[in-house]
Structure 1
Amino acid sequence: MNLTHMFNKHFLALVLHCVYNIKTTRKTRSIIKYTFKITYSFSKPAFYLNSSHTFAEMLIVLVSLVVCVSSKSLRKYRNHFASFPKYFQFTAPEIQKCRKFDPKLGECLAEKVVDSMHRFKQGNKELGIVPLEPLVIQKLEFGNSGDGPVAIQQVYENLKLFGITAFTIYDSEANFSDENCYWRFKSYGNLVRMEADYKMSGQLLLFPINGHGKSNNTLYECEAVYNTRCEKYTKRNQKHIRMTDFVLKLKPKRIVFGFENLIDGNEQFSNEVLKTINENSEQVYADVAPAINEAIAKIEKEIVNQVFSRVPEDELFLS
């Protein structure tokens, strides 16, 4: 297929839409309008390029197309271009795909998702994936109450979560049919580290806590058990997937807590309290684990649904 055939009436409609409907800058509109002058002929019905155009002019055409289709505001008009040839449609080529009705779908997802986690460490704006290594969480707040030895409220800001892209997935079972949509799996990572600014208040073992400052907590040999369910919905005449239930149980074998200034203004006492906490880290973690699991699961669910909202179901799986 040569360029003359490729840049047909669909391309003309697309660029017209960019010029008159998208909130581009004046400079961008000028570039696209100049493209019209050098490529559109009133004596022919098609939008075309031919050998009479210089390389620079042809390059401007291609740049204009990139500017046009990369515009965020064009996404809301996606449905109007559903009949376009494949080279004009919004697809998800970077997503590693499985066959939806493969009997070994769970195994395939385990492999492809781990691969995608590695490739998307730095994120992907087109798919709505934030950088994953580290995963930055602006604010994470949770707490537990009761008569136990640990009853504290914790707030973490500017939290950086390291290590999640190094996890492997196993014992994976999945079904993405309309009637029964779910994915259950286990995941394992050698280390997860969390750096943040923290505030903490309440009762921790025998100590009244009212601290704030820097924190650096490390979880070793982590097993994560996921149990998720999903549903289907229609958006712009295309079917999408949405996670409805997202349950996580994170089980580290060893935890090392690092909090400065646990007892506000008393460094020596703070260090002694921290030493006692780490000597009883399993008990401390067990008391706060449900709140941590719920908070992390909520964030991961939002990330997954962000991708699913942008990518239709038929683009997530092989046909």
Structure 2
Amino acid sequence: MSRIILSIVICFVLDVLADFPTDPKPCKYGDSDCIVKVMNDLISNKATIGDRALNLVKLDPLPVTKMNIKQGAESPVNIDLTFTDNNVYGISSMKFRKVKGFGKSIDKKHELLLNAGKLSLAGPYKIKGKVLILPISGNGESNMTLVNCDMIVSFTGIPVEKDGETYMEATNLKLSTKPERLYYHFSNLFNGDKALGDNMNTFLNDNWEAIFLEVQQSMQSAFAEIFQTIISNVFSKYPYAKFFEE
């Protein structure tokens, strides 16, 4: 889900690394329609295979080394959930709808609006705590899949001077997600007790929306922290002006 941000950054970096190839042409500052088209073309054609000539890494699937979601006792979903060596699948299904910002002034809010048909986070997990009224514990393989998910990614740019050039650093990154549906599956719950595990997975899916609303902020914050660093690192390598044309 939030690996979406990495793909956005790399789409821009492609043009820089290839010295702005004639196809696609670089966009003018703030040209939302042009930027959206470039992003969608690159994601559609390169997300699942990458492109060594353009230094584009494979984005689908994309690894998430570690992510922790921890809710306090005051929440109806009081859990400590850790994902380790997971992958995000479905980035190639993303469709960018609109962008805001990306003008000549770096120190503005930049915003990306997009939709993902299907995004899954899959891999090893460990959980303990309570979900609504029921205790939960286990470790094994998990899958969380968002369906038809609208997303908004926003961050504030800060100009950074280096070697006579102006670069952009991303700060205060926020991620907002609104899925049409969310499916959960956790294997090996309750030390492998199949009956308890099946019942818990059914309970999670029957109450997916209430559970998601409780953990949404923690999930979004976890991804935002990861990708703010990624975006800042990428933009620190190239002057901001090279991403666009007059």
Relative to structure 1, is the Cα distance of residues 313 and 148 closer, same or farther in structure 2, using a 3 angstrom cutoff? closer
For 2:18 and 2:239, the matched residues in 1 are separated by: 9
Which residues in structure 2 correspond to 1:142-221 (within 5 Å)?
142-178=69-105, 180-221=107-148
Out of 235, 243, 246, the position equivalent to 1:316 is: 243
Deviates more, 1:232-241 or 1:298-307: 298-307
Aligned residues: 228
Out of 28, 31, 36, the position equivalent to 1:99 is: 28
Relative to structure 1, is the Cα distance of residues 132 and 295 closer, same or farther in structure 2, using a 3 angstrom cutoff? same
Relative to structure 1, is the Cα distance of residues 254 and 91 closer, same or farther in structure 2, using a 3 angstrom cutoff? closer
Relative to structure 1, is the Cα distance of residues 224 and 305 closer, same or farther in structure 2, using a 3 angstrom cutoff? same
Structure 1: gaps (5+ residues): 1-88
Identity %: 22
Q: Is the partner of 1:258 in helix, strand or coil? A: strand
Out of 34, 41, 50, the position equivalent to 1:115 is: 41
What is the match of residue 82 of structure 1?
Answer: none
Which residues in structure 2 correspond to 1:289-308 (within 5 Å)?
289-308=216-235
Deviations 1:37-60 (A, max 9, x none): xxxxxxxxxxxxxxxxxxxxxxxx
The structure carrying a bigger strand percent of its residues is 2
Relative to structure 1, is the Cα distance of residues 243 and 124 closer, same or farther in structure 2, using a 3 angstrom cutoff? farther
Deviates more, 1:115-124 or 1:276-285: 115-124
Q: Is the 1:246–1:297 Cα contact (8 Å) retained in structure 2?
A: yes
For 1:134 and 1:142, the matched residues in 2 are separated by: 21
Q: CA-atom RMSD, angstroms? A: 2.4
Question: Offset at 1:307?
Answer: 2.3
Structure having greater relative contact order (Cα 8 Å, sep ≥ 6): 2
Q: Is the 1:92–1:311 Cα contact (8 Å) retained in structure 2?
A: no
- Does residue 162 of structure 2 align to residue 235 of structure 1? yes
State TM-score, norm by structure 2.
Answer: 0.82
Structure 2: gaps (5+ residues): 1-15
For 1:237 and 1:177, the matched residues in 2 are separated by: 17
Relative to structure 1, is the Cα distance of residues 127 and 91 closer, same or farther in structure 2, using a 3 angstrom cutoff? closer
User: For the pair shown, which has the larger CA radius of gyration, 1 or 2?
Assistant: 1
Which residues in structure 2 correspond to 1:16-95 (within 5 Å)?
92-93=19-20
Question: Offset at 1:130?
Answer: 4.2
Relative to structure 1, is the Cα distance of residues 127 and 275 closer, same or farther in structure 2, using a 3 angstrom cutoff? same
Q: Is the 2:20–2:26 Cα contact (8 Å) retained in structure 1?
A: no
State TM-score, norm by structure 1.
Answer: 0.65
